[in-house]
């Protein structure tokens, strides 16, 4: 299932309708790199399973701290090797992180050159409208509320993959 954005407000994922997304369509979206910033190892594993079940072909690289994600994106320390740590095509961000929060990471990312930062999608337990509004203002492309249910997580994963898909070429 795909969560279709409500036309009146694309940030109201909770009031969206569902439509079937074919596995072939999801496969065609990306075979890129997802950088997940998540400190809860159970959430990392659930997302990894959901990504595998979505059959996207994406490679998941997960870090527990926002500072590590910044080092990754800036090619600092252990992340200097571009073969081992390729440029991500999508960042999946939790808001509640130790040290630097997800909101602080978004603030940092907003100040960086656009070419350096791939699309960021928030995947959080928070259902607060304030967090949705703040993340949108800070440049997040989408906001998804985590679910402990694997089927729901697979459906959300398929939908968040759409944020990393390249727009189709337009003939001029």
Q: What is the pLDDT of residue 23?
A: 53
The answer to whether residue 124 sits within a structural domain is yes
Residue-wise pLDDT tens for the chain (172 aa)? 344 443 344 444 433 334 444 554 444 445 789 999 999 999 999 999 999 998 888 899 999 999 999 999 999 999 999 989 999 999 999 999 999 999 999 999 999 998 889 999 999 999 999 999 999 999 999 999 999 999 999 999 888 888 875 443 333 3
The answer to whether residue 86 sits within a structural domain is yes
pTM of the model: 0.79
The answer to whether residue 64 sits within a structural domain is yes
Helical segments of 10-149, H only: 23-29, 41-53, 66-74, 102-110, 129-137
Q: Residue 106 is part of a domain; what is its CATH number? A: 3.40.50.2300
Domain containing residue 87? 28-164
CA 142, 99, 72, 111: dihedral to nearest 10 degrees? 60
The answer to whether residue 10 sits within a structural domain is no
The answer to whether the CB of 159 falls within 8 A of the CB of 34 is no
The answer to whether residue 2 sits within a structural domain is no
Task: Say if residue 135 is exposed, middle or buried (CB neighbours under 10 Å; 0-12, 13-18, 19+).
Answer: buried
Q: What domain count does the chain have?
A: 1
The answer to whether residue 83 sits within a structural domain is yes
Q: Is the dihedral of CA 17, 22, 23, 29 positive or negative?
A: negative
Q: Which of 161, 120, 130, 160 is nearest to 144 (CA)?
A: 160
Q: What is the pLDDT of residue 165?
A: 54
The answer to whether residue 20 sits within a structural domain is no
Q: Strand 90-93 vs strand 33-37: parallel, antiparallel, or unpaired?
A: parallel
Q: Which residue has the tokens 């679910």?
A: 147
Phi-psi domain of 122 (left: phi exceeds 0; alpha: psi -120 through 50; beta: other): beta
The answer to whether residue 55 sits within a structural domain is yes
């Amino acid at each position: 299932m795909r969560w279709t954005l409500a036309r009146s407000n694309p940030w109201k994922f909770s009031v969206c309708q569902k439509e079937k997304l074919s596995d072939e369509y999801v496969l065609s979206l990306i075979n890129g790199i997802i950088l997940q910033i998540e400190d809860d190892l159970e959430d990392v594993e659930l997302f990894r399973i959901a990504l595998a079940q979505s059959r996207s072909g994406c490679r998941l690289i997960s870090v527990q701290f926002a500072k590590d994600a910044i080092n990754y994106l800036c090619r600092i320390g252990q992340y200097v090797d571009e073969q081992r740590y390729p440029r991500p095509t999508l960042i999946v961000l939790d808001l509640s992180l130790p040290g630097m929060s997800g909101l602080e990471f978004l603030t940092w990312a907003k100040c960086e050159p656009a070419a350096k930062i791939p699309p960021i999608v928030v995947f959080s337990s928070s259902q607060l409208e304030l967090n949705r509004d703040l993340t949108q203002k800070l440049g997040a492309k989408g906001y998804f509320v985590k679910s402990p249910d694997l089927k729901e997580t697979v459906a959300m994963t398929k939908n968040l993959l759409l944020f990393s898909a390249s727009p189709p070429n337009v003939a001029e």
